[in-house]
């Protein structure tokens, strides 16, 4: 796949004035606001008469366009590609680390060009700590890509995860770090932090045991200890959890976010609201997986998995749970991250709340609001533009026409 990436020629003191029709600042939509960029920071935002424009400012006319903070993808796997191309098992077992890194570089570019200037990366799925190296390569300017918060290797309970052979004598690579018992769990968390993890991801439940149904993996005590260990170094813990008991244990342990929450109940979501734990629902992952199985949206009735997801998402909305925007991209194509936003609206979330979720809410929950997530004086100049007002048409994110990251223009 070939990419055409425009990178502006500029010095560290370049000055830009963006003149769109609308500015969504991460919280509200404003008509006829301008944004001043000096170097890599936002120097001013507001009505036209509130600015003093330096003489060497480069004017960028964005007539009829809406600009927003660079979008934040809350659940990404750059080292994976869609399962209808290659199954998860085959990616973990048969693709070399070199191939997977090459793919990840392309995926990083696709993500940035789609307007997602920051991502939370939740597990390399067998590529060890290579997400930390990819993050460093982007920060050094070796390759273009989004800013990254990386989890390195997800942590799973021994025996619960990964490709499995029908022969007990064969032990395949697992695609995650196994931990059996509290000592192993603490050691693994500390190892990952030492290897560059910005956060820790645990699987609080998974399809293991009899009938391959989702069941809790770590005990409540283990989860609590994991959170205490990670938090002591300022690191958040996020969990994969789809069933009420796994979610309940995670809530009581004090995790930061719960990923998926497919079978969450009203009671569980009320508890999340009370404890200020956010949900990253990953609607798009299930939407595409069902299509890989043969479902044709619009032509066939929705499968039970989709109906259940609609139900749990509505229950979370009704309970007032903080919702993060994150699609589990990698299960489906990178660069189509916007599909999660479209489904959030389709499943009942207000467009304004979806915009906030993909910008300021994610920034607040991920504790990076001092850098990104809003168009606000002093924050990094991560800014995108779309051709129509997304409050009127959420599908406008399919066609991002301008991308600036850290004050550098990548798409114009």
Q: What are the pLDDT digits (tens) for 70-97?
A: 999 999 999 999 999 999 999 999 999 9
Question: What are the φ and ψ backbone dihedral angles of 50, each rounded to 5 degrees?
Answer: -95, 5
Rg of the Cα atoms in the chain? 21
- List residues bridging with 51 in a β-sheet: none
| Domains of the chain as residue ranges with CATH | 15-69+375-411 (2.30.40.10), 71-365 (3.20.20.140)
Instruction: Report d(CA 110, CA 317) in Å as an integer.
Output: 30
Question: What are the φ and ψ backbone dihedral angles of 351, each rounded to 5 degrees?
Answer: -55, -40
Q: Per-residue pLDDT for the chain (412 aa), expressed as one digit of tens each?
A: 445 566 654 545 799 999 999 999 999 999 999 999 999 999 999 998 888 889 899 999 999 999 999 999 999 999 999 999 999 999 999 999 999 999 999 999 999 999 999 999 999 999 999 999 999 999 999 999 999 999 999 999 999 998 888 888 888 888 999 999 999 999 999 999 999 999 999 999 999 978 889 999 999 999 999 999 999 999 999 999 999 999 999 999 999 999 999 999 999 999 999 999 999 999 999 999 999 999 999 999 999 999 999 999 999 999 999 999 999 999 999 999 999 999 999 999 999 999 999 999 999 999 999 999 999 999 999 999 999 999 999 999 999 999 999 999 999 8
- Report pLDDT for 168: 85
Token readout for 204 is 């609080």
**pTM attached to this predicted model:** 0.96
- List residues bridging with 181 in a β-sheet: none
Q: What is the pLDDT of residues 316-341, one digit of tens each?
A: 999 999 999 999 999 999 999 999 99
Q: What is the rounded average pLDDT for all residues in the chain?
A: 95
Question: Are residues 182 and 227 in contact, defined by beta-carbon separation less than 8 angstroms?
Answer: no
- Report pLDDT for 51: 81
Instruction: Report d(CA 176, CA 181) in Å as an integer.
Output: 16
- List residues bridging with 278 in a β-sheet: 257
CB neighbour burial string for 159-181, b if at least 16 within 10 angstroms, e if fewer: ebbbbeeeeeeeeeebbbbbbee
CB proximity list for 56: less than 8 A, separation 6 or greater: 15
- Report pLDDT for 1: 47
- Report pLDDT for 209: 78
Name the helix (H) or strand (E) containing 41.
strand 41-47
- Report pLDDT for 4: 57
- Closest among 47, 53, 24, 50 to 34, alpha carbons compared: 47
From residue 307, alpha-carbon distances to 11, 31, 190, 279, 310 in Å are 52, 38, 40, 18, 5
Based on DSSP, count helices (H) and strands (E) in the chain, helices before strands.
Answer: 12, 19
3-state secondary structure of 21: strand
Question: Are residues 86 and 95 in contact, defined by beta-carbon separation less than 8 angstroms?
Answer: yes
- Closest among 383, 288, 391 to 334, alpha carbons compared: 288
Q: What is the pLDDT of residues 19-69, one digit of tens each?
A: 999 999 999 999 999 999 999 999 999 998 888 889 899 999 999 999 999
Neighbours of 72 (CB within 10 A): 30
């Amino acid at each position: 796949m070939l990419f055409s990436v425009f990178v502006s020629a500029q010095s560290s003191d370049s000055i830009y004035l963006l003149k769109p029709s609308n500015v969504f600042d991460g919280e509200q939509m404003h008509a006829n606001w301008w944004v001043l960029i000096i170097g890599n920071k936002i120097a001013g935002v507001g009505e036209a008469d509130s600015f003093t424009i330096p003489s060497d400012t480069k004017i960028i006319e964005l007539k009829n366009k809406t600009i927003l903070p660079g979008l934040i993808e809350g659940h990404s796997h750059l080292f994976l590609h869609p399962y209808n191309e290659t199954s998860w098992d085959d990616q973990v077992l048969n693709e070399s680390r070199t191939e997977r890194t090459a793919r990840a570089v392309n995926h990083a570019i696709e993500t940035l060009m789609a307007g997602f200037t920051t991502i939370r990366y939740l597990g390399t799925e067998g590529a060890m700590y290579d997400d930390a190296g990819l993050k460093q390569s982007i920060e050094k300017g070796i390759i273009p890509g989004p800013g990254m918060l990386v989890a390195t290797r997800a942590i799973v309970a021994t025996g619960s995860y990964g490709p499995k052979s029908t022969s007990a004598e064969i032990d395949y690579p697992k695609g995650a770090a196994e931990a059996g018992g509290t000592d192993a769990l603490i050691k693994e968390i500390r190892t990952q932090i030492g290897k560059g993890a910005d956060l820790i991801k645990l699987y609080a439940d998974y399809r293991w045991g009899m009938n391959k149904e989702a069941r809790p993996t770590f005990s409540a005590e283990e989860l609590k200890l994991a959170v205490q260990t990670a938090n002591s170094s300022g690191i958040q813990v996020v969990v994969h959890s789809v069933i009420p008991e796994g979610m309940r244990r995670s809530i009581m342990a004090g995790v930061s976010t719960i990923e998926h929450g497919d079978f969450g109940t009203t009671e569980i979501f009320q508890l999340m609201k009370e404890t200020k734990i956010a949900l990253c629902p990953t609607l798009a992952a299930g939407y595409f997986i069902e299509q890989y199985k043969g479902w044709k949206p619009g032509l066939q009735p929705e499968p039970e998995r989709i109906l259940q997801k609609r139900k749990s998402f509505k229950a979370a909305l009704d309970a007032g749970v903080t919702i993060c925007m994150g699609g589990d991209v990698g299960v489906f194509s990178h660069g189509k991250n916007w599909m999660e936003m479209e489904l959030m609206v389709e499943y009942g979330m207000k467009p304004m709340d979806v915009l906030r979720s993909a910008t300021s809410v994610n920034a607040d929950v991920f504790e990076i609001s001092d850098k990104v997530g809003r168009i606000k004086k002093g924050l990094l100049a991560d800014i995108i533009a779309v051709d129509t007002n997304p409050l009127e048409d959420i599908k406008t994110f399919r066609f991002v026409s301008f991308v600036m990251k850290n004050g550098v223009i990548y798409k114009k």
